[in-house]
Structure 1
Amino acid sequence: MKMIKTTVIFIVLLVCHQVLADDANKDVEVTALSIGERVVLQSEVLNENRVINVYLPQGYSKALAKDYPVIYLLDGSIEEDFIHIAGLVQFGSFSWVEMLPESIVVGISNVDRRRDFTFPTGNERDKKDFPTTGHSQSFIRFIETELQPYIDAKYRTTSTKTLIGQSLGGLLATEILFKKPDLFDNYIITSPSLWWDDESLLKYTPALYTSKKYVFIAVGKEGEEIERTARELYDKLKVLENENTHLYFEYLKKQDHGDALHLAVYSAFEKIFMQ
């Protein structure tokens, strides 16, 4: 009998709760919140579909004759850095901040970043830890021949392109800067994994370019190897610096490998765009 009474009381409370909930929500309108577009791009170069997340400035409208610079973000999925960087871009382009112009952000979601962000290595430990490694050349070709042309065709863009890469993404950004520098105008390289292949990229002679480049390098308190190689990258570029190069370096002593990116990107936006 006691069990029956308890069950009845529970049912009554449950019904009352549902009635109250329905009453509280009857005048509430719920709609989806969107900050951009999700594009599935079929890549012939990579022989797979790639998800691209696109943030569009608040004022973006096909009815307005205005073009926007594009910021390309490696590790750009929703679960990675896309939302955070899009937020920095939105904040930085507010009229009362004016740190950078309103910009489109293109976040490239990962399928296998160890495969896409690394070039072939002769280091056996690298091969063991990264068994799918060594296909950055194909990924760079995907960016050059498929992704950038698609973005420029679909959206109203200017010719100004910025690349953001952190960790292995920083390694790839450095490789692009060295081998295909004119793919981007601005390079934001944070905590680059230049230890890859026994630091061979630091021995590479970068390709020459004649257009203006802004290169921002940052590293946190991340251990001797990453800190040293980031500084060596800066020193290497400093020797090669000419009137077309604007080079910056920051050591973020209060940040580590996990949280250096956002402060680095904020500082890079200030230095690159507030000229």
Structure 2
Amino acid sequence: MKKTLRLLLFFVVIPALSYFAFRYGQRKYHDYQWERSHAEFMAQATNTASENVTVLRDSILIPYQNSKRTVHVYLPPGYRENDSISYPVIYFMDGDGAFNELENESEEWRVDEVIDSTVNAGGRGAIVIGLESAEDRDGEYTPWPTSDIPQAHGEAYMNWFCKEFKPWVDANFRTLPAPEHTTIGGISRSGMMAYYAIMSHPETFGVALIQSPSMWVDEERLLAMEPNGDLSNKKVFVSVGELEAPMVPLAQKAHDRLAAAGISADNRKLTVYEGLGHWHITWRQSFAEAYPWIVL
């Protein structure tokens, strides 16, 4: 009996403890490296937002959450000089990543630079509204409760977005409020929510920018969704980095489901960016490619 226990200790318990100690140390070292890298980035970070970006701190109340949210607003060149022109609107969830590396505490997507340069070259401008996520980002950006996220309230969030937040934007800025002029966009988990939004609220959104969508969150139910209206005149831009290995086939499935829901080949695009992973540089490149197509 004692020999068996010694063998069990030597061959099972000690190796198991060693493995878990190694994994814990590896994780702590990874966290240390990330914190060090982040601190170095922030020490050199600058305000990269264009002068026509405004940050409205804690300005929007979400009544059902009893919480306020920060909104980042980009107005295109010429907006203030000519009050006779109204503009299409691009809404970004995870919107603190759109304009400024100081706000994002990482690389930003250069949304303002893309639109500024487009307008300066004679192209069309757009208003961009970036809405920051909740502290419980997973709960807000998951449509329905799951075993992993029982507190999910994405369905209620998107209802609030369409019924209260968008009307506030339309009342306070010179927007073109019709669905065909209204884009919903996001990255990762909020990219999945952009897919959910175009399927569930086609009366509000005419275009979806679906970047690196985390369809794995609730893959079966998301892909089984039936559109809540006619999608035949909608546009979708789906993108993913080549190195986001498990998410590449899921992006393909999201694209194919939207095609099956009625979006024509001319009105949908799927792009896989070679050599890029799940990161802000990927979403920066995606927006630069998508923007001219979105505002055609």
Quickly name the TM-score band, shorter chain normalised. 0.7 to 0.9
Contact 1:213 1:244 in 2 (8 A): no
**CA positional deviation for 1:66:** 1.0
**CA positional deviation for 1:210:** 5.7
In structure 2, do the counterparts of structure 1 residues 91 and 200 end up closer, same or farther at CA, with 3 Å as the change threshold? same
- Report SS of the residue matched to 1:93: helix
- Report SS of the residue matched to 1:238: helix
Deviations 1:247-275 (A, max 9, x none): 1111112211113211111111233334x
**CA positional deviation for 1:173:** 0.6
1:108 aligns with 2:127: no
Deviations 1:78-131 (A, max 9, x none): 5238772222222222225x2xx11111010122321211123434xx33xxx7
Q: Please say which structure displays the higher CA radius of gyration.
A: 1
**CA positional deviation for 1:62:** 7.0
**Gap runs ≥5 in structure 1:** 1-32
Identity %: 25
Q: 1:263 maps to which residue?
A: 285
CA RMSD of aligned residues (A): 2.4
- Inter-partner Cα distance in structure 1 for 2:196 and 2:79: 32
Pairs within 5 Å for 1:166-185: 166-185=187-206
Aligned residues: 233
The code of the aligned residue for 2:63 comes to E
Q: Which TM-score applies when normalising by structure 1? A: 0.76
**CA positional deviation for 1:245:** 7.1
**CA positional deviation for 1:158:** 1.0
Q: 1:4 maps to which residue?
A: none
- Report SS of the residue matched to 1:37: strand
Contact 2:226 2:261 in 1 (8 A): no
Pairs within 5 Å for 1:12-91: 34-39=51-56, 40-61=59-80, 64-77=83-96, 78=100, 79-80=103-104, 84-91=110-117
1:161 aligns with 2:182: yes
**CA positional deviation for 1:201:** 0.6
The code of the aligned residue for 1:221 comes to E
- Inter-partner Cα distance in structure 2 for 1:187 and 1:238: 13
In structure 2, do the counterparts of structure 1 residues 262 and 199 end up closer, same or farther at CA, with 3 Å as the change threshold? farther
Pairs within 5 Å for 1:188-207: 188-207=209-228
The code of the aligned residue for 1:36 comes to V
- Inter-partner Cα distance in structure 2 for 1:144 and 1:82: 26
> 217, 220, 234: which one pairs with 2:238?
217
Q: Which moved more, 1:247-256 or 1:195-204?
A: 195-204
- Inter-partner Cα distance in structure 2 for 1:224 and 1:244: 25
> 122, 129, 137: which one pairs with 2:155?
137
- Inter-partner Cα distance in structure 2 for 1:245 and 1:179: 21
Contact 1:212 1:245 in 2 (8 A): no
Q: 1:150 maps to which residue?
A: 168
- Inter-partner Cα distance in structure 2 for 1:41 and 1:62: 27
**CA positional deviation for 1:199:** 3.8
Q: 1:92 maps to which residue?
A: 118
In structure 2, do the counterparts of structure 1 residues 93 and 34 end up closer, same or farther at CA, with 3 Å as the change threshold? closer
- Report SS of the residue matched to 2:284: helix
Contact 2:139 2:154 in 1 (8 A): yes
- Inter-partner Cα distance in structure 2 for 1:185 and 1:245: 14
Q: 1:248 maps to which residue?
A: 269
Q: Which moved more, 1:233-242 or 1:110-119?
A: 233-242
Q: Which TM-score applies when normalising by structure 2? A: 0.71
- Inter-partner Cα distance in structure 2 for 1:223 and 1:254: 9
- Inter-partner Cα distance in structure 2 for 1:211 and 1:67: 25
The code of the aligned residue for 1:90 comes to D
**Gap runs ≥5 in structure 2:** 1-49
In structure 2, do the counterparts of structure 1 residues 94 and 43 end up closer, same or farther at CA, with 3 Å as the change threshold? same
- Inter-partner Cα distance in structure 2 for 1:241 and 1:44: 35
The code of the aligned residue for 1:42 comes to L
